[in-house]
Every structure is written in C-alpha cells, then in structure tokens.
Amino acid sequence: MTSSYAYRLPTFSPETTRNVASLLRVIIIVLIAAAAISSRLFAVIRHESVIHEFDPWFNFRATKVLTEDGFYRFWNWFDEKAWYPLGRAAGGTLYPGLMVTSGAIFHFLKAINIPVDIRNVCVLLAPAFSGLTAWATYMFTKSMKDDAAGLLAAAFIGIAPGYISRSVAGSYDNEAIAIFLLMMVFYLWIKALKDGSVMSGVACALFYFYMVAAWGGYVFITNLIPLHAFVLILMGRFSTRLYVAFSSYYVVGTLASMQVPFVGHNPVTTSEHMSALGVFGLLQLCAFAEFVRSLVPSQQFKVLLRSAVAGIFMIAFSGFVVMSINGKIAPWTGRFYSLWDTGYAKKHLPLIASVSEHQPPAWPAFFFDLEMLVFLFPAGVYLLFQQLRDEHVFVIIYAVTCSYFASVMVRLMLTLTPIVCVSAAVAISTLLDTYLDPKEPETREEVTKSLTDDATSAPATPSKKGGKKAGGKTASASESAASTARSHVAGIYGLDTRIVVSLYTLILLLVFVLHCTFVTSTAYSSPSVVLASRNPDGSQHIIDDFREAYYWLRQNTPVDAKVMSWWDYGYQIAGMADRPTLVDNNTWNNTHIATVGRMMSTSEEKSEPYLRKHDVDYVLVIFGGLLGFSGDDINKFLWMIRISGGIWPDEIHEVDYFTPRGEYRIDDAASQTMKDSLMYKMSYYRFNELFGGRPGMDRVRGSQTATQSPKLDILDEAFTSENWIVRIYQVKKQDPLGRPLPLANAFDQGKSIGRAVAGADTPGLRPVGAAGGKQGRKGRKATS
Amino acid sequence: MLAMRSTAALAALFATTATLLSSFVSAEPPSALLASASRNPSGIAHLDSAAFNSIVNEAAATRDYSMSILLTALNAPGIDCVPCKAFQPHYEGVAAAWKKNGKGWKEGKAGHYFAEVNFVDGREVFQQLQIQHAPMLLFLPPHGPANKGISYDFNAHGFDAPGVSSHISQLIGKPIGYKKPFPWRTAIIFSLTAMVATSAVLYVVAKVQAQLEASSGGWVLQLVCLATITIMCAGYMWNNIRGAPYMSMGSNGKVEYFAGGFQNQLGVETQIVASIYGILAFSLIALTVLVPTQRDPVKQRAGVYVWSVIFLGGVSVLFAVFRIKNPSYPLRLFL
C-alpha cells in the first residue's frame, strides 16, 4: 500500500544500515570535535598563543612549578612571592587536577619525542577537552533518548557560547577540564543507575574524584546526585539498582575525594556534603526495610517498618541540625549561602559580591549565551516529562536547580549550558523524528476499512514482523495496514509539511551556528591581557599595555621589589613580571585585601606608614580614562572602599567619596576625600598635561577631570604605558634629613631654580623619574 | 534679628515646657528634650527648628548625653520620600527598645536620646546642615555641635532596625537591646498558608502519584518546573536582586518596556521575554506532539502551517527584541 509512505527510503539490508550508521556516527563525532576545537582558536589566530585573563596565570605558574621542579615540590609548594609578607601555602590550597593533567600531557608528548612548550599545552588544553566534552555529552544524551539526539547535543555543546566563554584557547582555568568531567560523572551515574552495575558506579566515583581534584564546583555534583536518588525514593522508585549505584559511587567517591589536600575532611564535616551522607543513610534504611518486608507477611508490621524508617531519618536529621548549631558541622560557606540568600553577600561578604562573575545575569545574557537553545530548553524538558524514566528525572532536577543558580550568578551559566544542550537536542530530534519519518498514518476512514479487512484476514497477522523489518515493501497490503494502524496512530500526512518544517528547522540550526560564531569571535575571544581595537581604516590595532608594563617591571626593578596593586592583577604580576605582590586573585585573606584597599583609598599621609610597613616599593594602578577602557581601578574603587570600610568602619565611610548629592564624580565637584585618595591621585596624576594643562577628558566616566592636577608627595611616577592603561609609581625613599616627604618636596620646589642642588637631594630617583617622563611623551604621541 | 526671634521662641518654649513638666516631675530640672520624648510612645523627641536650635545647637556645652537625630521628610507636600516611610517603623522600634532598656531613661540619665526632625517642621535645620537628601540619621556625641555628627551609612548597614541598633550600640558603648518583635501577623498568615498548602500538596501528591504510576507525570509538578525554568532563563533573579523597576518613563513621557543596555532590564521585560519563550516552546510542542495526533489530513496540514507561522514569528520577534538590547547584533529573521 503505497499511500502510507510520504517518500521512499532506499532499501538496504539491516546489516548495511547498521554499519553505515555507525560509520556516520564516528565521522560526525570527529567532525563535531574538530568544529569545537577550531571555533575556540580565534584568540590564538588573532593574537598569539598567550595565557588569558587572571586566574589562568596562576595555574600556568603552578604548572611550570610542576613540570620544572617535579611533583613533590608542587605538592608542598609554598609560594613566598604571593601575599607578601604572609606567603601562601599554594600546594595545599589549589585544585591540582588541571596542572597534573597538562603536566601529564607534557611528559607524554616528551616521551614520544614531540618537543612542545608547556605554554602551548596549557593554551590548547581547553579546546582539546571541549572535543572530549562533546563526546561525553553525546553519550549522556544517548542514554536519555537515542543516537540522533546525542549527536545534536554534542554539536550544540561543541559550539554553544555559554561553554566557549570559559574554554577558548588560552583560558587555562579549572573549568577547562571540569565540564568534561561533569558530563562524564553524570553519564556514568546514569549508566550505573540503569544497569545497577558496581563497575559503572566505581568509574563514576573515579571521575568524581578527578572532578574534585579539578574544580570547586564539584559540590554541585555532590548535591545533585543525592537529590536525584532522594527524589527517586520519594517517587517510590527505590530499587536495588539505585542502591548499588549510589552506594558504590558514594563510598568510593567520598574516600577518594578526601585524598585531595584542599578538600581534606570537608566531606564529613561541612554542610555542603551532608545531603550526600544523609541520602546514603536513607538508602541503607530503605534497603533494610525492603529486605525485611520481603520476609515478613504482616500488613501491620509493614506500616510499622515504614514509620520506623521515617522516624530514624527524622532523628538523624535533627541530629544534623543540632550538630550544626553546636558547630560540629561547619555551616554553609558564604559563597554557597549567598546562592540562597541573595542579599547576604552584599551585606556581609563585599569581597565575594564584588567579583563580576558573581553578579546575576539579565535576560540578554541568557540569549547571548544560548540563543535558540533557551526556548528549546523547556520544550525538551516537557518531552522528557512525558516519558519520565529514572534518568529523565535526573535531567529535570538538573534543569530546574541549575536554571535558578545560573539566574543568580552569571558564572553558573557554564553548568547550565550542558543540560540546556541536552534538552534542546531532545526537542529538536523529536521534531525531526516526527517530520522526517516517511510513514504516514491512516486516515480515519482507512483505519476503519483496514480494521474490517484485518478481521477477515486474522490468521495472516503473526507473520507481519518480517515484513515490517524489510521496510514494508514486500509485505502484503493488509499486513502493512494492520501494523501501521497499531504502532503508528500518530503521524504527519503529505510531503509539503515535512519539507517546510525540516527546512526551517535546518535554517534555524544554521542561524544558531552563525550566532555562535559571531558571539565567539566578538565577545569571548579576547585574551584581556591584550586588547584589540580598530583603526579608522578598519585595520586592527593591538593594545598591549599590560604586557608592556609587566615586562618593564621585570626588567627595571630589583627581583625582590614588592608591588602593590588591587587583587585583580596579583596573578598577572606574579606570572608576567615575576615580582612579589601583596594580594592576588586567591582572595583567601579578606583583611589583607582590605588593608590594600585602605592604602588606596586614604590620603597620602595616612597611607604612607602602611606602605612603609608593608615594604611596598611600587604601586600599580590601571587607568582607562584615556582610552575608554572601562574595567579600570577608578570603576573598581567603590569596592575597595566598601571592602576596607567593612574592616575599618570608623575610618573609611563610603559616603565621603560621593558628592553631597550622592554622585560618584571625578571632576571639580568630586568630594575632597575622593580627591585626596591615593587611587584618585595616581590615576589622574599629570593627566591634564596631555591636554595642554586644561582639564582632561576621561572617556570612561564621560566627564572632565579636575582643573587642579593632583600632586604626589610620597610617590614618584615610574612608568606609564603607551595608552596610559597601566601606571606604576615608586614609593619614595624616606628623606635623608628625616623630614616628612611633603615638607621635603615643598623645600625642593622652593629651590627649583637651582636644579643642581635639588637634584643632588635624591640622586637614586632621577633616572626612574626620567623614564616615566619619556613614557608619558610616548603615550601622548601615540594617542593624539 | 533671627537670633533674637529664636531666643524669644526658645524662652517661650522653655516656659511652656517648664510649666508642663513641673506637674509631672518635680525634683530634676526638666529638659525640653525629655519632655518631648516622654510624650511619644516610642520615646522619640519630635523637634522643630526652634527646639533643634535650643537643644542641639545652643545647649551643646551643657548637653552631657549623646543623641541620635533622624532627619526625615514625612507627609511633606511635594516630597514623596519612600525610604523615609520605610525607615520610620524601624527607627521607632530601636528608640522604643532604648526607652525600655536604657537605665535611667525617665530621669534623663540614660546618656543617649533619640530625636527626629521632620522636614515639614524643621526646614531651617535642613538648610543649616545643608542636607539635600532624606532620610539621614545623625549621631551627636555629648557636647558635640550638630555639624560634627556621625552620619549613619544606609548603604553599608541597611535600612533595617538591627543594623541601626548595632551601629548606635557601638557608638554609645552600651547595648540598645533591640529585639525583633515577634511577627505575629506574618506567623499567623504563614501558618495558615502552610496548612492550606500542605493539604493542597497532600491532595496533589496523591493525584500526582496516581498519574505517575500511569507514567505521564503530574501536570502541576510539570507546570511548576517548566515555569521555573522559563522565568529563570528570562532573568527573573536579576530583578529580584537588583530591585529593578517594573516599567520606566521615557524622556517624552512614553512608557518604555525595554531598558537600554545589555546588562540592564526592567521588570516587565522578564515577563515579555518569558512569554515569548513560553509561546515558542509551546508551538514546538504543538508541532511535535499535538499536530501528529490530528487524524484529519486537511486539519492537520492547517495545524502545521499555523503553528509554524507562530513559531517562526516568535523567533523573529525575539531576535528583534534582542536587537533593541544589543544594537550591534547582526542576525535577523524577517523583522
């Protein structure tokens, strides 16, 4: 019966079909991996093979320690160049997974005689792992629906900007390998749950261990898998498969995770890990109850047993509450707590609230990172609801919790992206399944007709299976009609609808590719240590101020010169300039950071004693006013004030830095406290000279600067980069005659006609000052 | 001239308060502040310009207690000070706690007193202190003149009573002893809601479980999950955390539904975008699940085309809306 097919499929033997399909699968996966890797190489092609941003510089430095000094030195590494004068026990306070991975790759390549620079391994690690992530997502989605959905999901995750944002070449951060591990753990957890296999459970636990060693975000897994198990129990879906999978995962995974020094005993002492322990206990109770129930026939006893299980669970839970009140179990750390109580961080943890990646994203951020996936996401979740197998429950829980987390913190968009890709792939592949399937359903009249036919030729039905397999071509008309009527009640009629829907789905997929390419190339491929802009003629102009300044520090200052800067630049200074810093991106010591904030935000006289006590030789500030670089220190200044004001509320008041009308200004109307602050002075020192002594134009704040240029007494301008983005000041040595520096300066200026005498006063400082002047001229020339 | 008038007013004030107070307290020389404060149930002295002048400015030398003064604008014509109204009960709560806990409060020996100047009564005070915005909470140490006050930082410590209480406690070196009043109203509402919700949930769970056994998923649960996902992806928490306004008024008096800028949004934007997402997801579901079950070929074909038009139209609207937020975005579909 030809009318039941919208178009003809070529007929192959089932074996050929299977072979071709598996060959195609392999080719597609390889192509997806290639696309994933190559779309992350924009930064390398445009700029060069360079480590990006801030945190990666520390990871890179740690990797160098690992490869140059060996594993034991790395494991016990004490970094005396950071957090001067405290130092940092880096070996015990980092997640070693990333460094060990790239170290292993480096040594492997060396062993097979491929000479490669460790920097290139680090730069290309994230793209390489994104290929693996695509594969892991394929496996995960395959277990949710089928191969087709798996391939779509792999393609989505390969190019979705939400994931690319953290894994472009050079973004050598923990997340680079963590998303692969996340998907691997989830895939193996689903596999273990489906099969009830100890082996998959243990494999899941081992990948979990790798994840714990690689990223602090492992806590998400630690809570999500128990939540899944818990919901399954609540739904009455407790099974021996669940018991075996969770027990093997939890026991091995927890013991293994405690081997990471930074994690240590956290899995048994902190609240974040308690849910896993609780669910583990509950599973034991459930298993015991099931066991007893199977032996005891009495209905009353079963009720008693169930209430006993509930009772013991409640007692254990209240025990947990009591212990956390007594402080035996550490409460939720602020970082995690602020996910629930969103106002908490702003009030109590300004340091955490200040980090830009901890801000909530507005809706354009979701659309920018996910494009059409964002509306396919609920559709896919709905389709999974329709089947609701055990593994679908997992996806749903993941989707709901993570969409909340991503909505609170833009950083967690990264963990949301995989599940969005999986759900969207389910939605798209179901759509395509429906519209590409050549079988047409019977119309109502035909069904009734075929049913009457069927009734007459009833003895023929048992043989219909063979006919169906061969594509229905050889089967007799009545058999085919009967099988369609039973197995194919829903379907699409006609060819035109199929073509239209498939065509625009294809177009939407292509638009998605265009969107991803556009976003990746414009937004996520900037190394942020090297900036790019366009000349009037459209050619690219590279702004390399950061490296210029860091190399100046490296070549012109003593090896032990202490450099003070805001914590954002600590890792970069340590990595590129190789100089000790006071604070860095590790942010483990809030007070120390607040001290730096205080030195930056108070007047020269007030901060001088602290600068001397901390042996500060150079102060580095980032100033974007000339170029319009908005991520500069004046824009971050409010956070410095807030953080230091949190420690010294009597000395630093945020209000003082605003005008009486409550505005944050930098021109003549700025408050006196603002004008006196070290940060303001360092940023705008000599800025007006660029404009011939008239008030300059700050392109970030979009306002004029003060008419009166700031004067510095205790600092000397040492270096200013080409576009004025980085400005470095040297802390003057104390006056040899013991006068306070402002007095000495005033004295010098009074005698400035006799330069020879004044110059002899501070002989050591002249060359540096001269260098600064030269740089300043150079900057002016380049930008005018 | 002004000084003369104010001294006259002061004298008059003293006279009246003296006569007023002499009937109540006889031993201690009555203080105008205490008199005013005692009249108020929460123990806040309401000062007008004259009283402020006499108590704070001129009596500074003899004033051996510290003061908290709230400069606020309540019921002032033409000024709608929302934070003032919001802060008032908190301030009253703290003052009432001090009235109760401060030793020797009634005798004027508590060492610290709460006062308040409303803009309606004390316009001159605002002018004198050059205050442009309200509310402002000043702390005056003993003998301190008004312009040497320590102003309370609302941004850092918040508008809530505990923040104020701990700030003042720190300054006077004694605990205010403020305790959050037990929220009876909230508690009753909450417990009632909880009871209703629990019974509803129990009812729904029973229903849902019956449905779950038929492996189709409880529709309430589904709805809640899908709505959460959609709303969250439309930036709901941003509004919540940043306190975004629902809509805004443009320069020419037009209502604006979309805030300018990529990292900014209005409350209504979340609703618009969430409903676009919802329509798109639903039309996709309709295309995949609903349409194929239609057994009449003509109706089905019509369904496919209608839902396709809705779907593609929704996508192009979404692109257009996104280009409002990010004008440099190059992709578009029809619109």
Q: Which two tokens stand for residue A521?
A: 């190339």
Task: Kindly tell me if the per-residue pLDDT of A776 is higher than 60.
Answer: no
Residue A610 domain flag = yes
Give me the helices (H) in A341-463, please.
344-348, 350-354, 363-370, 373-387, 390-408, 413-436, 444-456
Residue A361 domain flag = no
Q: Which CATH class is domain B19-172?
A: alpha beta
Asked if A371 contacts A517 with a C-beta cutoff of 8 angstroms, the reply is no
Distance CA A54, CA A64 (A): 16
A153-167: burial string, b at 16+ Cβ within 10 Å, e else: bbbbbbbbbbbbbbb
**Better pLDDT: A737 or B285:** B285
Q: B318 — contact with chain A (CB < 8 Å)?
A: yes
Q: A413 — contact with chain B (CB < 8 Å)?
A: no
Of A487-491, A501-505, B42-46, the range with the lowest mean pLDDT is A487-491
Give the domain range for residue A316.
198-330
Q: What is the pLDDT of residue A485?
A: 44
Identity of the residue in B289, B308, B330 whose CB atom sits nearest the CB atom of A500: B308
Distance CA A273, CA A275 (A): 6
**Better pLDDT: A594 or B145:** A594
Q: What is the pLDDT of residue A383?
A: 93
Our CA-based measurement puts residue A387 at a distance from the nearest CA of chain B, in whole angstroms, of 6
Chain B residues closer than 8 Å to A431 by CB: 284, 287-288
Task: Kindly tell me if the per-residue pLDDT of A618 is higher than 60.
Answer: yes
Q: B284 — contact with chain A (CB < 8 Å)?
A: yes
Q: Determine the straight-line distance between the first and last CA of chain B, rounded to whole angstroms.
A: 72
Q: What is the pLDDT of residue A349?
A: 72
Our CA-based measurement puts residue B35 at a distance from the nearest CA of chain A, in whole angstroms, of 33
Of A503-517, A543-557, B57-71, the range with the lowest mean pLDDT is B57-71
Per-domain residue ranges of chain B: 19-172, 184-325
Q: How many CA atoms, within 13 angstroms, populate the side-chain half-sphere of residue B15?
A: 6
Task: Kindly tell me if the per-residue pLDDT of A649 is higher than 90.
Answer: no
Q: What percent of chain A shows pLDDT beyond 90? A: 45
Task: Kindly tell me if the per-residue pLDDT of A13 is higher than 70.
Answer: yes
pTM: 0.76
Res. A767 pLDDT band, cuts 50 70 90 = very low
Q: What is the pLDDT of residue B210?
A: 62
Of A454, A642, A661, A509, the closest CA to residue A566 belongs to A642
The mean per-residue pLDDT over the stretch A663-674 comes to 87
Res. B3 pLDDT band, cuts 50 70 90 = very low
Q: Which two tokens stand for residue A154?
A: 């792999």
Structural domain count, chain A: 2
| Domain end call among A330, A356, A379 | A330
Asked if A272 contacts A340 with a C-beta cutoff of 8 angstroms, the reply is no
Distance CA B151, CA B136 (A): 7
Distance CA B161, CA B165 (A): 6
The torsion region of residue B331 among left (phi > 0), alpha (psi -120 to 50) and beta comes to beta
Which contacts qualify for A254-259: CB closer than 8 Å, 24 or more apart? A256/A205, A256/A206, A256/A208, A256/A209, A256/A212, A257/A208, A257/A209, A257/A212, A257/A218, A259/A209
Q: What is the pLDDT of residue B4?
A: 44
Task: Kindly tell me if the per-residue pLDDT of A144 is higher than 90.
Answer: yes
List pLDDT tens digits, range A203-254. 999 999 999 999 988 999 999 999 999 989 888 888 999 999 999 999 999 9
Average pLDDT, chain A: 84
Residue A613 domain flag = yes
* Chosen from B166, B208, B288, B291 to mutate, greatest number of chain A CBs within 10 A: B288
Res. A700 pLDDT band, cuts 50 70 90 = confident
In this prediction, the answer to ipTM > 0.90 reads no
Q: Do B285 and A374 touch (CB under 8 A)?
A: no
Q: B272 — contact with chain A (CB < 8 Å)?
A: no
| Domain end call among A330, A352, A383 | A330
List pLDDT tens digits, range B287-335. 999 998 888 889 999 999 999 999 999 999 999 999 988 888 888 887 7
Of B223, B195, B196, the closest CA to residue B208 belongs to B223
Residue A492 domain flag = no
Task: Kindly tell me if the per-residue pLDDT of A766 is higher than 50.
Answer: no
List pLDDT tens digits, range A52-94. 888 899 999 999 999 999 999 999 999 888 888 888 888 888 9
Q: What percent of chain B shows pLDDT beyond 90? A: 15
Identity of the residue in B130, B265, B331 whose CB atom sits nearest the CB atom of A362: B265
Helix (H, G, I), strand (E, B) or coil at B101: helix
Asked if B55 contacts B101 with a C-beta cutoff of 8 angstroms, the reply is no
Would you tell me which residues 465-524 of chain A have a C-beta closer than 8 angstroms to some C-beta of chain B? 489-494, 496-497, 500-501, 504, 508, 511, 514-515, 518
Q: Where are the beta strands (DSSP E) in chain B?
A: 44-47, 66-72, 112-118, 136-140, 150-151, 248-249, 255-256
Res. B234 pLDDT band, cuts 50 70 90 = very high
Considering A450-454, A457-461, A652-656, B145-149, the range whose residues carry the highest mean pLDDT is: A652-656
Residue A680 domain flag = yes
Identity of the residue in B132, B222, B237 whose CB atom sits nearest the CB atom of A661: B132
Asked if A218 contacts A257 with a C-beta cutoff of 8 angstroms, the reply is yes
Amino acid code (one letter) for A605: E
A490-507: burial string, b at 16+ Cβ within 10 Å, e else: ebbbeeebbeebeebbee
Q: What percent of chain A shows pLDDT beyond 70? A: 88
Distance CA A359, CA B35 (A): 50
| Domain end call among A297, A330, A363 | A330
A277-309: burial string, b at 16+ Cβ within 10 Å, e else: bbbbebbebbbebeeeeeeeeeeeeeeebeeeb
